Amino acid sequence: MTGKAHLTRRQFEKAVLTAGVAAALPGWLRASDELPADPTPYLNVTGADSLRAHATARKLLYGAAVNPALLDLEAITAGAPTNGYTQLIQSQAAIVVAENAMKWAGLRPTFDTFDFTLADRLMRFAQLAGQQVRGHNLCWHEGLPSWFKNSVTKDNARQLLVQHIQAVGGRYRGQIHSWDVVNEAVDPKDSRPDGLRNSPWLQLAGPDYIELAFHTAAQADPQAKLTYNDYGIELDTPEQSVKRGQVLLLVRRLKARGVPIHALGVQSHLQADGPQPGAGLVTLIRECAKLGLEVYVTEMDVNTHSLPGGPEAQDAAVAQVYRNYLGMVLAEPNVPVALTWGISSAHTWLNGSQEPWAKRPDGARQRPLPFDDELKPTPAFLAIRAAIDAARVSATQPAQPGAAPGDLYKPFAVPGSPNPQPAPRGPGVR
Ligand code: G3I
């Protein structure tokens, strides 16, 4: 939208009311008779107007995934002006997570060496900015270093996993809000009765690698909330309903076996067009509450690769998804944390990917986040802020008394779930 197109004040207020964000308008906009057609880029978004401040006022944490290499730590320590990216992360995020720097590939250049440079940089930045930090992640089948394939075997996998978690979790002991201990371990497409993905970790370390990882993480950093994180569990489509059921069965099994798990991470990589999240996810969140688990929105963004129309159409659709989704999940009292996967379209993974599910046919860049390529707020910013303002004030959930053992394995009411029962245990089954 060009800065030259103008609406009358009435036209603008009608448009904003339709978008449900009237309360977010600053005084100077309401006072003006002639307004830019899209006033969003001109909003004040810092200080008390930031996502960080609005979330904090509701006892929520809003945050974003960051690239520590782009954070201008040197300028902060020198008391000098920082770059726009750094200012945005400082002003908007109360919690940060490394998009890549704390993965195995980010930390382990060789089999027996670690490089903590970028991870330490993030920790130092967060300390200076008064932010909490999520750790992502300690065990995943992706984000592995190139040496992994030829060096990790059935003989050393368990030991390597334990050593990794001890080294990384231990280094940041007491400084991490929550660790994604295990990431994306469920995949019903692999047709295992326990729903687990047939990943290198499962093949090399055995199906109880998940329990091993959580127990080790609890010892390495007893204060961190230990999280199981996954994607593709948000929609009510048959495929995602089955996966959601398998994820719930997994966390129920872990709780029943006394594994230290405190939260479920719902990644929330959503699409602007097609089916939208609904009742199934709310049910999952409430089932987690019964287990005493918090639920975090860990990686939200909105993909418009197949949405027709120009930037305005993208912006409107993306904002609508944020409004509906965060409005729905932040109404649940055990959802105290929401992060977007990046802060602006300038650095989103969706604009770095050549995959067909990321590339738009018109070649336009995606706008999946609250700020755009020029680090100006998008309509999604207002949608996120309005959803935060409307959220139920959340408090850390007290652990619920455990369900009766018979209830723990009650089939989750998901049509088509191939595994309503826990995986068998016994000799030969790890
Ligand atoms: O840093 C290297 C660079 O040195 C090299 O020249 C270049 C060549 O390909 O690769 C660079 O690393 C890439 C890295 O992103 C940093 O840009 C990796 O190839 C690439 O695989 C990596 O992708 C990341 C992906 O996870 C895999 O780790 C994405 O940025 C990141 O957004 C994505 O994040 C995941 C979450 O961790 C888990 N949930 C899904 C989410 C999106 O896929």
Neighbouring residues of 283: CB distance < 8 A, sequence distance ≥ 6: 413
Residues of the chain with confidence (pLDDT) below 50: 1-33, 395-430
The per-residue pLDDT for 18 is 41
Do strands 34-36 and 178-183 pair parallel, antiparallel, or not at all (unpaired)? unpaired
The C-alpha atoms of residue 11 and residue 17 are separated, in whole angstroms, by 10
The per-residue pLDDT for 36 is 66
Residue owning the nearest CA to atom 18 of ligand 1:
143
The per-residue pLDDT for 8 is 42
The CA-CA-CA angle for residues 151, 139, 234, to 5°, reads 140
What region, left, alpha or beta, does residue 62 occupy, with left being phi > 0 and alpha being psi -120 to 50 degrees? Answer: beta
Q: Which of 67, 97, 99, 102 to mutate to test the pocket of ligand 1 (most atoms within 8 A of CB)?
A: 99
What region, left, alpha or beta, does residue 232 occupy, with left being phi > 0 and alpha being psi -120 to 50 degrees? Answer: left
Cβ–ligand 1 contact at 349 (below 6 Å) = yes
- Among 164, 136, 137, residue whose Cα is nearest residue 151: 164
Active-site residue, selected from the candidate residues 184, 211, 294, 332? 184
The per-residue pLDDT for 393 is 67
Ligand 1 atom at minimal distance to the Cα of residue 65: 32
* Contact status, residue 270 vs residue 234, Cβ threshold 8 Å: yes
Cβ atoms < 10 Å from Cβ of 74:
9
Catalytic residue status for 287: no
Read off the pTM.
0.87
Radius of gyration of the CA atoms of the chain, in A: 22
Catalytic residue status for 13: no
Express each pLDDT in 177-229 by its tens digit.
999 999 999 999 999 999 999 999 999 999 999 999 999 999 999 999 999 99
Residue owning the nearest CA to atom 15 of ligand 1:
100
